[in-house]
Copies of this chain bind each other. A is one copy, B any other.
Amino acid sequence: MANSKASVPKGTRDFSPAEMVKRNYIFDTIKSVFRKYGYLEIQTPSMENLSTLTGKYGDEGDKLIFKILNSGDFWGEAENKKQKAESFEFNSKGLLPMLSEKALRYDLTVPFARYVVMHQNEITFPFKRFQVQPVWRADRPQKGRYREFYQCDADMVGSESLLNEAEFVMIYQEALGMLGLKDFTIKINNRKILSGIAEIIGKPELIVDMTVAIDKLDKIGLDGVVKELLERGFTSRDIEKLKPVILSEGSNEEKLASLKSVLTTSDTGLKGIEEIETILGYLESFSVYSPQSLSSDSLSAGIQQPATQNPSAAPGSQSATLNLQLDITLARGLNYYTGAIFEVKTNEVAMGSIGGGGRYDDLTGMFGLKGLTGAGISFGADRIYDVMEELQLFPESTSETTKVLITNFDAQAERYALPVLQELRNKGISAELYPTSAKMKKQLSYADNKKIPYVILIGSEEIQSGRLTLKDMKSGVQEQLTREELTGKIK
């Protein structure tokens, strides 16, 4: 019992100062890029009415929603007075409404849709918002899967323009580049192309089955996909039609050209191709993408090809190179997305997707506001953290760390130190005086553990000469400096 008192619920985590510095570095970087593209922050409450959340995530999702017990006696707050009076059966369905009317948010998307509907008269559309807040899921905890974790989303509602999609690609590129990732692939697909393919095969009703199967190409290979397609109601003949499409190689332009020839009779399919081309066109105008006819899909083909002058042809060669790949097998969240679909993967570390998103045409419909199109992306902050840790991309010290510790030798030195401390802080430098005259070893190890880069030593000699000793903790070098020299040096 004593032990359980100093523990956290399973699937939840404390974040130490060192971890917070790194997490803030990720969040602050991504937020700054969101802002640069005109996205503004909102926050929604941690708890939503249970009725807002249930039925939005499927049966499996509903089970993973953390419900909050009504406070007071269990009947105290039930808004349906009639229900209170009724006798109840003790099973989860009969009891639940009396026990719980609120729940912790499961994602940021449904609360955002609720926000837009609730505040529609105050909002100027197109509304570009970002949101970085924790979400909670009663999932079985396991490595890398938590019951409380942060989501990091940017969404736009109210504009059909594909400029939004192009900018999402740029936001990924810029934010991940700023974080130091050098080799990552932004995959793009379009729901309308997938619909077109299902149409051409003559099985439009099986589009979900088709995409669920081909989405697994990376994991289970072509044979696995074929097996699954057969199980899901496709014939061998259908599959023969599908094969060249899902196995198509080459640059985005080559893939688009071959898709165009396949989808000639599907208006929906051609619309999807046109949307991809428009997005690529925007990126070209922004000078971050160049079309090409050479095969650039070297990674999935397993062949390293020589770098060309073309910036999009040399994946990973520079942090500034956009590696955008049309991937017909990409289908994440198909039931949700109606246009573009995005996914981001790092090629430097074995890791699932570190971001994803797309266009959804009727986000707010679930709350009764029809006809408002939206598009959004998400960053997988926990996975990005793990990638950066593995690649050692976190900066050694940041503005969040204390810059200088003044050691405390004795009462006289302490008194002498106080105005020095004040002067440093007045110059905007984070500074501490060790609060007692503990052993010097202890004080230096305090600086070391807190990753404080500089230590000022003040003893009787320093007080007499008026020059302070500055120790660089990394190099170990000590210098005697005047107070003016000191602040200049540290800044």
Q: Is the CB of A400 within 8 A of B368?
A: no
Interface string of A421-452 (1 = CB under 8 A from B): 11001001111110110000000011001100
- Binding stretch for chain B, among A64-72, A293-301, A460-468: A64-72
Q: Is the CB of A118 within 8 A of B436?
A: no
Q: Is the CB of B37 within 8 A of A115?
A: no
Q: Is the CB of A118 within 8 A of B46?
A: no
How many A residues, CB 8 Å from partner?
103
Residues of B with C-beta under 8 A to A317: none
Does A182 touch B at the CB level, under 8 Å?
no
Chain B residue nearest to A281 (CB atoms) is: B415
Q: Is the CB of B43 within 8 A of A450?
A: no
Q: Is the CB of A435 within 8 A of B126?
A: yes
Does A307 touch B at the CB level, under 8 Å?
no
Does A286 touch B at the CB level, under 8 Å?
yes
Does A233 touch B at the CB level, under 8 Å?
no
Q: A119's contact among B14, B51, B66, by CB below 8 Å, is which?
A: B14
Chain B residue nearest to A43 (CB atoms) is: B15
Q: A9's contact among B6, B43, B45, B159, by CB below 8 Å, is which?
A: B45
Does A63 touch B at the CB level, under 8 Å?
yes
Q: How far is the CA of A147 from the CA of B63 in the complex (A)?
A: 25
Q: Knowing A99-B69, A118-B14, A287-B419 are in contact, say whether A20-B36 is a contact too (CB < 8 A).
A: no
Does A243 touch B at the CB level, under 8 Å?
no
Q: Which of A408-426 contact B (CB under 8 A)?
A: 414-415, 418-419, 421-422, 425
Q: Knowing A46-B136, A163-B433, A428-B36 are in contact, say whether A41-B69 is a contact too (CB < 8 A).
A: no
Q: Knowing A124-B450, A435-B164 are in contact, say whether A38-B402 is a contact too (CB < 8 A).
A: yes
Q: A17's contact among B47, B129, B163, B405, by CB below 8 Å, is which?
A: B129
The smallest beta-carbon distance between A148 and chain B, in angstroms, is: 5
Chain B residue nearest to A20 (CB atoms) is: B41
Q: Which of A67-91 contact B (CB under 8 A)?
A: 67-69, 71-74, 79, 90
Q: A40's contact among B7, B43, B450, by CB below 8 Å, is which?
A: B450
Residues of B with C-beta under 8 A to A40: 17, 20-21, 400-402, 450
Q: A67's contact among B69, B119, B124, B148, by CB below 8 Å, is which?
A: B69
Q: A49's contact among B9, B47, B446, by CB below 8 Å, is which?
A: B9
Does A187 touch B at the CB level, under 8 Å?
no
Q: How far is the CA of A36 from the CA of B433 in the complex (A)?
A: 12
Residues of B with C-beta under 8 A to A49: 4-5, 7-9
Does A122 touch B at the CB level, under 8 Å?
yes
A residues sitting closer than 8 Å to B (CB atoms) are 1-2, 4-9, 12-17, 20-21, 23-24, 35-38, 40-49, 51-52, 63-64, 66-69, 71-74, 79, 90, 92, 99-102, 104, 114-115, 117-119, 122, 124, 126, 128-129, 134, 136, 138, 147-148, 159-161, 163-164, 282, 285-288, 367-368, 399-402, 405, 414-415, 418-419, 421-422, 425, 428-433, 435-436, 445-446, 449-450
Residues of B with C-beta under 8 A to A435: 126, 159, 161, 163-164
The smallest beta-carbon distance between A22 and chain B, in angstroms, is: 11
Residues of B with C-beta under 8 A to A405: 38
Q: How far is the CA of A117 from the CA of B129 in the complex (A)?
A: 39
Q: How far is the CA of A124 from the CA of B100 in the complex (A)?
A: 42
Q: Is the CB of B282 within 8 A of A8?
A: no
Q: Is the CB of A14 within 8 A of B71?
A: no
Q: Is the CB of A20 within 8 A of B43?
A: yes
Residues of B with C-beta under 8 A to A429: 36
The smallest beta-carbon distance between A291 and chain B, in angstroms, is: 16
The smallest beta-carbon distance between A342 and chain B, in angstroms, is: 18
The smallest beta-carbon distance between A330 and chain B, in angstroms, is: 24
Q: Is the CB of A286 within 8 A of B422?
A: yes
Name 4 extra pairs, CB < 8 A, besides A40-B400, A72-B138.
A7-B52, A35-B430, A124-B449, A286-B418
Q: Knowing A44-B14, A428-B36 are in contact, say whether A282-B71 is a contact too (CB < 8 A).
A: no
Chain B residue nearest to A15 (CB atoms) is: B43
Q: A5's contact among B52, B73, B74, B136, by CB below 8 Å, is which?
A: B52
Q: Is the CB of B124 within 8 A of A37?
A: no
Q: Is the CB of B63 within 8 A of A72?
A: yes
The smallest beta-carbon distance between A161 and chain B, in angstroms, is: 4
The smallest beta-carbon distance between A382 and chain B, in angstroms, is: 13
Q: How far is the CA of A68 from the CA of B64 in the complex (A)?
A: 13
The smallest beta-carbon distance between A287 and chain B, in angstroms, is: 7
Q: How far is the CA of A415 from the CA of B430 in the complex (A)?
A: 47
Q: A16's contact among B38, B45, B119, B368, by CB below 8 Å, is which?
A: B119
